[in-house]
């Protein structure tokens, strides 16, 4: 597959530089390391900072959600690789306004290891931290092992809620509790149709025969729950939404936010086909969609496929979801 790049080894630094040049009013780098971005107005004195991070290749996740009402900073790794503990620590120092810093990121081993190291470094500097892991991928582990699940597109809801809580002046413990609450009420499942091609190797991230799909695939190409012949949009939505409803235990009278997310190479028209059927299924079950989101929120370079996320809403979660937010890739006033 052809790619619009220069040297593969410069891919990450160059696209981050492009983001900085395009959005100087929203984000900045606090030092010389392009792998650390923070809000242009960071740090906010007296308010909790929120640091996220992870591998590149998932725009707008992770670096696209740095801004008002969202995350305060991000540490950026190579494609599908964790950022270093030093980069996470630099982001932590840059966003600390004296009220502590929440680490909010996906549940992946390398990220957990390096964020934990950064937290130790922050403690030595007198910066208090808390950690909440996105773990919404229902296909990665059964419900009785939900704490071991991967974090995927549903972490967007946690960014939105925790960012709003920090913006209104909540304490570190309160912001962490908001993030944990949203994570606990979010479920996601994806379907993959074709792999991404890694810029550094020119090779696909996984193999999938023509005419087949993989239900439950991860955003790095991790194995899903089953492979089989490509199904229709309605059949895919039936399977995915059914699994999400069962996992969350939702029934008549429930209210939800729905996120239909493209993985990078799926046309928006196809995402709306999935949303159409998702809306029909939920309406048939007496479940109200209060907030719909359709588009690319967490990608995997040019992987073909999509994911569907549900967040069970109550009044408190809805208020946070509706709060103003502004970043290079998200705007809600």
Domain span including residue 204: 186-318
Mention every residue, 6+ apart, whose C-beta is less than 8 A from residue 225.
139, 215, 216
**Do residues 117 and 191 share a domain?**
no
**Do residues 156 and 250 share a domain?**
no
Structural domain count of the chain: 2
| Active-site residue identified among 23, 58, 185, 239 | 58
| Rounded Cα distance, 227 and 148, in Å | 22
> Largest Cα–Cα distance of the chain, in whole Å?
55
**Residue 192 confidence (pLDDT):** 96
Q: Both tokens of residue 50?
A: 């929120």
| H helix or E strand, kind and range, residue 16 | helix 11-22
**Do residues 28 and 170 share a domain?**
yes
For residues 178, 309, 56, 4, the Cα torsion angle rounded to the nearest 10 degrees is -150
Q: Both tokens of residue 312?
A: 């069970």
Active site residue 239: no
**Do residues 175 and 77 share a domain?**
yes
**Do residues 223 and 279 share a domain?**
yes
CATH of residue 291 = 3.30.1180.20
- The number of angstroms, rounded, from the C-alpha of 316 to the middle of its chain's C-alpha atoms is 21
Q: Both tokens of residue 126?
A: 């007198």
Residue 55 lies in a domain: yes
**Do residues 98 and 49 share a domain?**
yes
**Do residues 133 and 225 share a domain?**
no
Q: 122, 90 in Cβ contact below 8 A?
A: no
**Do residues 143 and 156 share a domain?**
yes
**Do residues 65 and 177 share a domain?**
yes
| Active-site residue identified among 23, 185, 220, 279 | 220
Q: Both tokens of residue 327?
A: 């970043």
**What would the pLDDT profile of 1-45 be if each residue is shown by its tens digit?**
789 999 999 999 999 999 999 999 999 999 999 999 999 999 999
Mention every residue, 6+ apart, whose C-beta is less than 8 A from residue 130.
100, 101, 102, 103, 172, 173, 175, 176
Q: Both tokens of residue 175?
A: 């912001």
> pLDDT of the chain along its 333 residues, tens only?
789 999 999 999 999 999 999 999 999 999 999 999 999 999 999 999 999 999 999 999 999 999 999 999 999 999 999 999 999 999 999 999 999 999 999 999 999 999 999 999 999 999 999 999 999 999 999 999 999 999 999 999 999 999 999 999 999 999 999 999 999 999 999 999 999 888 888 888 888 998 999 999 999 989 888 999 999 999 999 999 999 999 999 999 999 999 999 999 999 999 999 999 999 999 999 999 999 999 999 999 999 999 999 999 999 999 999 999 999 999 876
Local structure of 260: helix, strand or coil: strand
Residue 3 lies in a domain: no
| Rounded Cα distance, 11 and 27, in Å | 19
| Rounded Cα distance, 257 and 157, in Å | 9
Active site residue 220: yes
**Do residues 300 and 218 share a domain?**
yes
**Do residues 108 and 135 share a domain?**
yes
**Do residues 196 and 160 share a domain?**
no
Residue 288 lies in a domain: yes
């Amino acid at each position: 597959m052809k790619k619009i790049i220069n040297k593969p080894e410069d891919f990450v630094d160059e696209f981050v530089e492009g983001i900085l040049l395009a959005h100087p009013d929203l984000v900045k780098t606090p030092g010389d390391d392009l792998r650390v971005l923070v809000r242009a107005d960071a740090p906010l004195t007296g308010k909790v900072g929120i640091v996220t991070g992870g591998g590149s290749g998932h725009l707008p996740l992770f670096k696209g959600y740095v801004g008002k009402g969202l995350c305060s900073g991000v540490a950026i790794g190579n494609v599908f690789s964790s950022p270093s503990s030093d980069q996470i620590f630099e982001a932590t120092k840059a966003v600390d306004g004296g009220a502590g810093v929440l680490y909010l990121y996906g549940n992946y081993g390398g990220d957990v290891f390096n964020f934990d190291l950064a937290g130790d470094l922050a403690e030595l500097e007198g910066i208090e931290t808390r950690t909440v892991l996105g773990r919404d991928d229902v296909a990665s582990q059964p419900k009785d092992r939900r704490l071991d699940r991967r974090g995927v597109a549903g972490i967007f809801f946690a960014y939105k809620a925790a960012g709003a809580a920090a913006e209104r002046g909540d304490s570190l413990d309160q912001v962490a509790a908001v993030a944990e609450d949203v994570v606990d009420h979010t479920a996601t499942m994806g379907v993959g149709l074709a792999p991404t091609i890694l810029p550094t190797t020119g090779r696909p991230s996984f193999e999938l025969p023509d005419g087949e799909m993989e239900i439950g695939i991860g955003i790095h190409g991790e194995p899903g729950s089953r492979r089989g012949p490509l199904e229709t949009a309605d059949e895919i939505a039936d399977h995915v939404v059914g699994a999400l409803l069962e996992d969350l235990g939702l029934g008549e009278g429930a209210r939800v936010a729905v996120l239909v997310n493209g993985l990078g190479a799926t046309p928006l028209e196809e995402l709306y086909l999935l949303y159409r059927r998702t809306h029909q299924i939920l309406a048939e079950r007496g479940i109200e969609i209060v907030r719909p989101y359709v588009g690319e929120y967490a990608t995997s370079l040019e992987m073909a496929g999509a994911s569907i996320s549900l967040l069970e809403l109550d009044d408190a979660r809805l208020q946070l979801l509706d709060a103003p937010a502004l970043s290079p890739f998200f705007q809600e006033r």
